[in-house]
Amino acid sequence: MSSATLAVFDLDDTLIRGNISFAFGAFLYRIGKMRFWSALYCTGTYFRHKFLQRSLRLLHTKVLRRFLRGYSLRTLCRDVEVFLDEWLEKRCYHPALERLRAFQKSGAHVMLISCAPDFLVSAVARRLGVDDWAATRYGVDNRNLLDTIHHFIVGEEKARLVLERARSLCLGREAIAAFSDSTEDLPLLEVAGEAVGVQPGRKLRAICKERGWEVI
């Protein structure tokens, strides 16, 4: 481990156990900020993505259309902080968090990258003291109300952004360490000099074994 390293961590089922967007939606429903029918619709959309392989782009778009559009970003960010106060610490996956802390201690450049919304990822990055983050970027109208999605972070886009960040730090691929739980992040893992499967499913575990990648 060296200070001349770019250490990149996925969020869902990597640094945390579970899906942060789903958990935040459940929190909003519990405190009365999401109505029953919206919660039912968003939950169904999430499980269709998870079990029927519907695209992340479609998931984000449908949840925005049904619930998030028109939500005050300022209010939402306050809700995120209350949510993380009670949720983040107990949901961290400690083997991955310990690796992140070790990279931070060594002086490495640590990056959090996730397809989750930017208003969630940025708040987690700030709490973990992470140098850098990238996430699906939501946009607001002139009243600061959520109204669109500007940029999705999915698939090959994660790999592209990480390589771009490595170049800006004058680092080669061999200096990249990438951590993820999902085969959706194979492009990211494949550009790293050190690839680590975190709580991997059967398919990614088999790939890790075949390629000699570490599993934690």
Domain ranges of the chain: 6-215
What pLDDT was estimated at residue 11? 97
Res. 49: pLDDT tops 90: no
Mean pLDDT of the chain: 92
What pLDDT was estimated at residue 55? 75
Name the least confident of 32-41, 112-121, 190-199. 32-41
Q: What residues have CB less than 8 Å from 45, skipping those under 6 apart?
A: 54, 58, 59, 62, 63, 66
What pLDDT was estimated at residue 100? 98
Average pLDDT over residues 57-86: 89
* Angle between helices 73-91 and 20-30 in degrees, nearest 10: 110
Average pLDDT over residues 56-84: 88
CB atoms inside a 10 Å sphere around CB 35: 12
Scan for tokens 């893992």, then name that residue: 189
- Within 13 Å and on the Cβ side, how many CA atoms surround 129? 9
pLDDT exceeding 70 applies to what percent of the chain? Answer: 98
Average pLDDT over residues 63-69: 83
CB atoms inside a 10 Å sphere around CB 137: 15
3 state SS of 118 = helix
Average pLDDT over residues 135-141: 94
Res. 52: pLDDT tops 80: no
DSSP string for 174-201: GGEEEEES-GGGHHHHHT-SEEEESS--
For domain 6-215, the CATH architecture is 3-Layer(aba) Sandwich (3.40)
The length of the chain, given as a count of residues: 216
Confidence band, pLDDT 50/70/90 cuts, at residue 67: confident
Res. 2: pLDDT tops 60: no
Average pLDDT over residues 157-161: 95
Instruction: Tell me the pTM.
Output: 0.91
